[in-house]
């Protein structure tokens, strides 16, 4: 099809570059610089989609972000994009788009039956029905409703595109590049301020692109182009098009989305699709302009009914006609401009003006051009189903409640103009409580709550002269405040038409016995009758009206409907609009791609991955890794076809009988220095620390102030005033903050400094009866005897030239040493251990074997220290000093904490000595009791005991202290398991702890 609605000349499109694209399977042509919408209109395509609820045919109402109807599905597969607004989609070669929410096609849509039945589906109908019988809602009704829900189709594959983030600071961020925005950016930049100018559209200039005005004896558009050129040449200015500032957050944090890829024909491989800018601006100038409001009349949502300003922009920017037989329907002067441009392009419009008359110069110009104007007239009803083909027009009576006469006129489009709504979203988001301006019949910003200034038509200043004045003034004054400089440029003279006359009448009454549907919210299918019904039913607050009817809640966020809705409520309730109030504006201004918000935190980069310096060795040796917080730790080292349990048994047995080595680098480590260090530990831990000798380690338990166990670990006295603390992997970060809090906030008088050294040290635990022999080989010049390095002893050594710390501590319950070297030597240490240990058949062991070893020893870990237990629950009462106070001690005497039947850690063995008890099972007295079955405790950790070759578990059990020998049941209904068990000591292996001291 040829572009037979394209004017022969004019517009800012590149007519030398023809672009082909597909819409609903059919091939069309447009030009570079078109939007999908302008190209479709140039081809005479108006029927774009179907409405949400009633499936009414819909075409373009607008030309940009205000568009409620023209949403399409772009492309297919992983790169498909649902709900793309065609008026904002730039045309590129090969673009593929199709209509949404229609089946089988936009032209013939089964869903349109809803329109015939619309009487039965008024606002909120679903609250009143679908209740009987009970189960039918979710079995029958809801699935049907869900089939009809949604607009476009979501991709189901991962997004192949990339998105980036950028952080910027500036003195002044100017949002919008219309006359006031350009003026303020220029004035501020010339006065030395750092400026970012952001324009949502591809082209700068705002209204200067379409208005026939002059600034400083230049055409408005030329002035805009030159100003942009000048701004771009200045080093203190960033000028961005295709960049929408969508959110105004606290402390002048502005967020902007820049479209960087979709409009480029052959983008480079790594071009991000979009960039999200976090901009911290000292001052924000909101010059976001205004949006025209539609007029409301019968079937005012038919394709071919379009905002007058949009029709004008299609002609002026895209050289595209929205019709060849237009009606201009207006209640103000600005609609005449569209009529004049039609006329100048050789097309005769008919102007219907609801006002009695207007004396404005623009009306006079229209009259002088011979344009037909009928005052006191309006469109009563639009006719034509898939495209308007005629209009029932009527002469309004003096009260504007009915008609003196009605007649039918043929037309192929109706351009509507119902006043302007300032785009106050960002101002409102900043916290500015809006005020109603009677003169412009709309809400405008009031007192700024942050460093925000709204100017130009966003501020209700609808003349060019005023916009420029506000822009130059604001730009200068704000920059002066920041830079202290005083170079002011004078405001150029300007010349414009006068459009200030307007009428507040906006909703055409129904003729007698007619019930035309009059649309208020196009995308959400909200009609005048819906709002009337809501109020009739008592939903009188504007928020109730909004929620009950869904007015303004569609993806266009009511840009073209909110004010009309308010006017309607105001008319019905006989309240003035400011009393009705308005609903709150929330970010984002237009929907923002979720991927862009997320940025690069995707896939493996969702969160950092922490690896020990020995990681490569583990990988090479068939380690199967497990996530431990952000760390990856070897869970086991797979040999042959063995599974997790088999591997853990093998590795753990080798520790019990011989020697194993485990990478413990991920343990939290904190260096503590200062003369009060021992005193500090004494307050932080529950046990006594003052008398710990240099060269010795001690196990410690920390509580939260509420008495709950926070963390545990060993701390070693390296020298008199120097300690090395270890924490669990999970709590390392929190423990450091905890210590810093007490040192800096609570006890600043203590002379102590703490520093995380987790990353500074690599750690290897040697465990097993053979570990001393290996230690001797590793440190041939050191006395490694039990006397020299006793249990909980510490020594510094020399590992083939590398300084090392040796701690005789044990989590496995065996004779064990932990060797630390600087991280860079971690691999060296590990390889040395493996090399020297080879003849002893040393094997590495992972976290699963580690768990097995600690469980059968009854050592507690994260699965017991779950943020809900107190020390006595874990049989750690002995760790509580009676002689001193410590963090959390005061809480331990609370009633619930001293109850005699309080839970206690115990061991659990299945009676059959075969069945592993699933972790997370509960212990009950009666496996057949009726529900709810009282729970006595839960299984916190299970292993296959390598010592006894049968399953063993730890449990936290009510009154556990007195239940040794009792027979209970471990139940896991999730796994259908009922396991008779016996309660035993939690110290299943070596209860006296002889091995660690051997």
Partner 1 sequence: MLEIKCPYCGKRSQNEFSYGGDASVKRPELGKEISDKDWDDFIYNRKNPRGKHSEFWHHIAGCRQWFKVLRSTATHEIFKTAKIDEEL
Partner 2 sequence: MQKYSILSLIKNAFSNHQNWEVAWKDPEPKKEYDVVIVGGGGHGLATAYYLAKEHKITNIAILEKGWIGGGNVGRNTTILRSNYMWDANGLFYEYGMKLWENLSQELNYNVMYSPRGIINLAHSDAQLNVYARRGNSMRLNGIDALMLGREELKKKIPFADFSASARFPIFGGLMQPRGGTARHDAVAWGYARQADSMGVDIIQHCEVTGFDVQNGKIEGVQTSRGNIKTKKIGLCVAGSTSLLAEKLNMKLPIEAHVLQACVSEPVKPFLDHVVTFGAGHFYCSQSDKGEMVMGGDLDGYNSYAQRGNLPTIQHVLSEGVAMFPNLSRLKMLRTWGGIMDMSMDGSPVIDKSHIEGLYLNFGWCYGGFKATPVSGWTFAHTIAQDRPHKLNEKFTLNRFNTGHLIDEKGVGTKTWIG
Q: Is 145 in the site for partner 2 (CB under 8 A)?
A: yes
Hey, which residues between 614 and 643 contact partner 2 (CB under 8 A)?
Answer: 626-627
Task: Please report how close the Cβ of residue 744 comes to partner 1 at its closest, in angstroms.
Answer: 4
Task: Please report how close the Cβ of residue 239 comes to partner 1 at its closest, in angstroms.
Answer: 24
Number of residues assigned to the chain: 998
Output 121 or 278, the one with its CB closest to partner 1: 278
CB 316 within 8 A of CB 210: yes
CA 891/CA 886 separation, integer angstroms? 10
With CB under 5 to 8 Å by kind, the binding choice for 357 among partner 2, partner 1, none is none
CB-based burial label for 982 (10 Å; 0-12, 13-18, 19+): middle
Crossing angle for the helix pair 771-778 and 826-837, to the nearest 10 degrees: 120
Output 500 or 679, the one with its CB closest to partner 1: 679
The region of 6-14, 37-45, 348-356, 603-611 touching partner 2 under the rule CB under 8 A is 603-611
DSSP state of 587: S
Range 533-564 burial, b when 16+ CB lie within 10 A, else e: bbbeeebbebeebbebbbbbbbebbbbbbbbb
Task: Please report how close the Cβ of residue 606 comes to partner 1 at its closest, in angstroms.
Answer: 17
Residue 32: left if φ>0, alpha if ψ -120 to 50, beta else—which one? beta
Residues 6+ apart with CB under 8 A from 232: 239
Output 324 or 889, the one with its CB closest to partner 1: 889
CA 382/CA 388 separation, integer angstroms? 6
Report the 10 Å Cβ neighbour count for 792: 19
Task: Please report how close the Cβ of residue 34 comes to partner 2 at its closest, in angstroms.
Answer: 23
CA 163/CA 274 separation, integer angstroms? 5
Number of residues that bind partner 2 (CB under 8 A): 112
Output 150 or 790, the one with its CB closest to partner 2: 150
Q: Is 866 in the site for partner 2 (CB under 8 A)?
A: yes
Q: Is 557 in the site for partner 2 (CB under 8 A)?
A: yes
With CB under 5 to 8 Å by kind, the binding choice for 150 among partner 1, partner 2, none is partner 2
Task: Please report how close the Cβ of residue 38 comes to partner 2 at its closest, in angstroms.
Answer: 22
The region of 7-15, 221-229, 434-442, 580-588 touching partner 2 under the rule CB under 8 A is 580-588
Residue from 89, 924, 943, 984 in contact with partner 2 (CB under 8 A): 924
CA 503/CA 501 separation, integer angstroms? 7
Q: Is 154 in the site for partner 2 (CB under 8 A)?
A: yes
Hey, which residues between 115 and 134 contact partner 2 (CB under 8 A)?
Answer: 119-120, 122, 125-132, 134
Q: Contact letters (x/-) for partner 2, 43-82, by CB under 8 A?
A: ---------x--------------------------xxxx
Output 368 or 749, the one with its CB closest to partner 1: 749
Residues 6+ apart with CB under 8 A from 705: 887, 888, 890, 891
With CB under 5 to 8 Å by kind, the binding choice for 645 among partner 1, partner 2, none is none
Output 257 or 971, the one with its CB closest to partner 1: 257
Q: Is 247 in the site for partner 2 (CB under 8 A)?
A: yes
Task: Please report how close the Cβ of residue 452 comes to partner 2 at its closest, in angstroms.
Answer: 14
Q: Is 891 in the site for partner 2 (CB under 8 A)?
A: yes
SS3 labels along 479-505:
HHHHHCCCCCCCCCCEECCCCCCECCC
Q: Is 868 in the site for partner 2 (CB under 8 A)?
A: yes
Output 161 or 222, the one with its CB closest to partner 2: 161
With CB under 5 to 8 Å by kind, the binding choice for 557 among partner 1, partner 2, none is partner 2
Task: Please report how close the Cβ of residue 286 comes to partner 2 at its closest, in angstroms.
Answer: 17
With CB under 5 to 8 Å by kind, the binding choice for 612 among partner 2, partner 1, none is none
CB 844 within 8 A of CB 767: no
The region of 25-33, 233-241, 306-314, 969-977 touching partner 2 under the rule CB under 8 A is 969-977
Residue from 249, 375, 385, 505 in contact with partner 2 (CB under 8 A): 249
Q: Is 592 in the site for partner 2 (CB under 8 A)?
A: yes
Segment holding 427, helix H or strand E: helix 425-429
CA 88/CA 62 separation, integer angstroms? 10
Segment holding 646, helix H or strand E: helix 644-657
With CB under 5 to 8 Å by kind, the binding choice for 683 among partner 2, partner 1, none is partner 1
SS3 labels along 97-134:
EEECCCCECCCCEHHHHHHHCHHHCCCCHHHHCCCCCC
Site residues, partner 1 (CB under 8 A): 249-253, 278, 280, 431, 449, 683, 705-706, 737, 740-741, 744-746, 748, 884-886, 890-891
With CB under 5 to 8 Å by kind, the binding choice for 744 among partner 2, partner 1, none is partner 1
Residues 6+ apart with CB under 8 A from 541: none
Q: Is 96 in the site for partner 2 (CB under 8 A)?
A: no
- In terms of DSSP bridges, do strands 413-417 and 305-307 run parallel, antiparallel, or are they unpaired? parallel
With CB under 5 to 8 Å by kind, the binding choice for 537 among partner 1, partner 2, none is partner 2
Task: Please report how close the Cβ of residue 251 comes to partner 1 at its closest, in angstroms.
Answer: 4
CB 920 within 8 A of CB 939: yes
Output 168 or 919, the one with its CB closest to partner 1: 168
Hey, which residues between 700 and 759 contact partner 2 (CB under 8 A)?
Answer: 704-708
CA 542/CA 565 separation, integer angstroms? 9
Q: Is 547 in the site for partner 2 (CB under 8 A)?
A: yes
Q: Is 158 in the site for partner 2 (CB under 8 A)?
A: yes
Task: Please report how close the Cβ of residue 705 comes to partner 1 at its closest, in angstroms.
Answer: 6
CA 227/CA 216 separation, integer angstroms? 12
Apex CA 869: angle with CA 645 and CA 919, to 5°? 20
Report the 10 Å Cβ neighbour count for 157: 9
Closest CA to 639 of 827, 846, 942, 812: 846
With CB under 5 to 8 Å by kind, the binding choice for 737 among partner 1, partner 2, none is partner 1
Chain centroid to CA 374? 51
Task: Please report how close the Cβ of residue 885 comes to partner 1 at its closest, in angstroms.
Answer: 4
Task: Please report how close the Cβ of residue 544 comes to partner 2 at its closest, in angstroms.
Answer: 6
Task: Please report how close the Cβ of residue 589 comes to partner 1 at its closest, in angstroms.
Answer: 18
Task: Please report how close the Cβ of residue 824 comes to partner 1 at its closest, in angstroms.
Answer: 24
Closest CA to 807 of 726, 711, 876: 726
CB-based burial label for 377 (10 Å; 0-12, 13-18, 19+): buried
The region of 242-250, 261-269, 484-492, 803-811 touching partner 2 under the rule CB under 8 A is 242-250
Taking the CA atoms of the chain, what radius of gyration do you get in angstroms?
A: 38
Output 129 or 760, the one with its CB closest to partner 1: 760
CA 957/CA 954 separation, integer angstroms? 9
């Amino acid at each position: 099809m040829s572009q037979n609605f394209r004017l022969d000349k004019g517009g800012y499109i590149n007519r030398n570059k023809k672009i082909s694209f597909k819409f609903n399977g059919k091939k069309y042509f447009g030009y570079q610089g078109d939007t999908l919408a302008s190209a479709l209109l140039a081809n005479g395509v108006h029927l774009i989609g179907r409405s949400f609820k009633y499936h009414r045919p819909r075409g373009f109402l607008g030309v940009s972000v205000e568009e409620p109807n023209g949403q399409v599905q772009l492309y297919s597969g992983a790169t498909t994009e649902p709900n793309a607004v065609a008026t904002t989609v730039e045309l590129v070669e090969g673009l593929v788009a199709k209509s949404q929410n229609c089946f089988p096609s936009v032209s013939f849509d089964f869903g349109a039956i809803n329109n015939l039945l619309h009487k039965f589906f008024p606002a909120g109908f679903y609250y009143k029905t679908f209740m009987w019988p009970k189960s039918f809602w979710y079995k029958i009704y809801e699935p049907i409703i869900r089939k009809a829900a949604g607009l476009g189709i979501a991709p189901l594959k991962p997004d192949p595109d990339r998105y980036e983030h950028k952080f910027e600071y500036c003195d002044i961020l100017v949002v919008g590049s219309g006359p006031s925005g350009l003026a303020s950016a220029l004035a501020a930049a010339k006065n030395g301020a750092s400026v970012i100018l952001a324009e949502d559209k591809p082209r700068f200039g705002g209204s200067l692109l379409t208005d026939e005005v002059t600034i400083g004896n230049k055409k408005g558009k030329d002035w805009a182009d030159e100003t942009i050129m000048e701004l771009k040449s200045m080093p203190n200015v960033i000028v961005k098009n295709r960049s929408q500032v969508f959110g105004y957050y606290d402390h002048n944090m502005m967020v902007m989305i820049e479209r960087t890829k979709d409009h480029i024909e052959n983008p480079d491989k790594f071009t991000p699709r979009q960039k999200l800018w976090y901009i911290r601006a000292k001052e924000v100038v909101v010059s976001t302009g205004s949006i025209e409001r539609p007029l409301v009349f019968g079937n005012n949502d038919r394709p071919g009914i379009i905002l007058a300003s949009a029709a004008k922009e299609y002609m002026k920017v895209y050289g595209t006609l929205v019709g060849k037989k237009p009606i201009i329907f207006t209640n103000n002067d600005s609609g005449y401009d569209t009529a004049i441009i039609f006329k100048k392009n050789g097309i005769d419009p008919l102007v219907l003006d609801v006002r009695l008359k207007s004396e404005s110069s623009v009306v006079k110009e229209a009259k002088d051009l011979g344009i037909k104007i009928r005052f006191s007239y309006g469109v009563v009803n639009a006719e034509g189903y898939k495209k308007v083909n005629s209009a029932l027009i009527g002469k309004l009576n003096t009260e504007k409640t009915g008609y003196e006469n009605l007649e039918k006129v043929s037309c192929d489009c109706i351009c509507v103009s119902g006043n302007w709504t300032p785009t106050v979203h960002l101002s409102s988001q900043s916290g500015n409580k809006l005020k109603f301006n009677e003169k412009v019949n709309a809400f405008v910003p009031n007192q700024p709550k942050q460093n925000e200034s709204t100017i130009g038509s966003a501020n209700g200043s609808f003349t060019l002269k005023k916009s420029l004045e506000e822009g130059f003034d604001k730009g200068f004054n704000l920059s002066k405040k920041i830079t202290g400089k005083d170079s002011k440029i004078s405001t150029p003279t300007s010349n414009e038409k006068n459009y200030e006359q307007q009428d507040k009448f906006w909703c055409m009454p129904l003729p007698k016995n007619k019930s035309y549907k009059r649309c208020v919210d196009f995308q959400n299918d909200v009609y005048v009758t819906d709002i009337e019904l809501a109020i009739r039913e008592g939903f009188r607050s504007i928020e109730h009206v909004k929620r009950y009817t869904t007015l303004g809640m569609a993806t266009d966020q009511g840009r073209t409907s909110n004010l009309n809705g308010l006017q309607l409520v105001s008319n019905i309730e006989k309240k003035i609009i400011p009393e009705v109030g308005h609903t709150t504006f929330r970010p984002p201004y237009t929907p923002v791609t979720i991927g862009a918000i997320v940025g690069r935190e995707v896939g493996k980069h969702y969160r950092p991955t922490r690896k020990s310096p020995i990681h490569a060795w583990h990988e090479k040796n068939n380690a199967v890794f497990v996530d431990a917080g952000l760390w990856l730790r070897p869970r086991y080292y797979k040999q042959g076809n063995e599974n997790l349990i088999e591997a853990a048994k093998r590795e753990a047995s080798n520790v019990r009988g011989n020697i194993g080595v485990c990478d413990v680098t991920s343990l939290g480590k904190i260096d503590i220095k200062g003369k009060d260090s021992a005193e500090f530990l004494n307050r932080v831990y529950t046990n006594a620390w003052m008398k710990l000798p240099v060269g010795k380690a001690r196990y410690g338990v920390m509580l939260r102030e509420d008495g709950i166990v926070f963390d545990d670990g060993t701390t070693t006295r390296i020298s008199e005033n120097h300690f090395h603390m270890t924490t669990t992997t999970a709590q390392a970060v929190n423990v450091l903050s905890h210590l810093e809090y007490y040192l800096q906030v609570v006890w600043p008088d203590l002379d102590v400094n703490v520093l995380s050294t987790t990353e500074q040290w690599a750690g290897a635990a040697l465990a097993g009866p053979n570990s001393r022999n290996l230690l001797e080989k590793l440190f041939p010049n050191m006395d490694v005897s039990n006397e020299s390095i006793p249990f909980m002893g510490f020594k510094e050594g020399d590992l083939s030239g590398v300084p090392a710390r040796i701690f005789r501590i044990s989590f496995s319950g065996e004779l064990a040493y932990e060797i630390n070297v600087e991280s860079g030597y971690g691999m060296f240490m590990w390889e040395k251990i493996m090399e020297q240990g080879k003849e002893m058949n040393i094997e590495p062991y992972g976290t699963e074997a580690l768990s097995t070893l600690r469980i059968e020893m009854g050592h507690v870990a994260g699965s017991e220290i779950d943020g809900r237990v107190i020390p006595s629950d874990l049989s750690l009462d002995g760790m509580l000093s009676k002689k001193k106070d410590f963090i959390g001690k005061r809480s331990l005497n609370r009633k619930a904490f001293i109850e005699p039947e309080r839970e206690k850690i115990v061991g659990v063995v299945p009676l059959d000595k075969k069945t592993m008890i699933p972790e997370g099972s509960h212990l009950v007295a009666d496996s057949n009791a009726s529900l709810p079955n009282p729970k006595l405790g839960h299984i916190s950790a299970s292993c296959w005991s390598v010592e006894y070759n049968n399953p063993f578990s730890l449990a936290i059990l009510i009154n556990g202290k007195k239940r040794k020998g009792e027979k209970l049941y471990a139940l896991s209904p999730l796994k259908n398991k009922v396991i008779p068990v016996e309660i035993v000591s939690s110290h299943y292996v070596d209860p006296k702890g002889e091995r660690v001291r051997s």
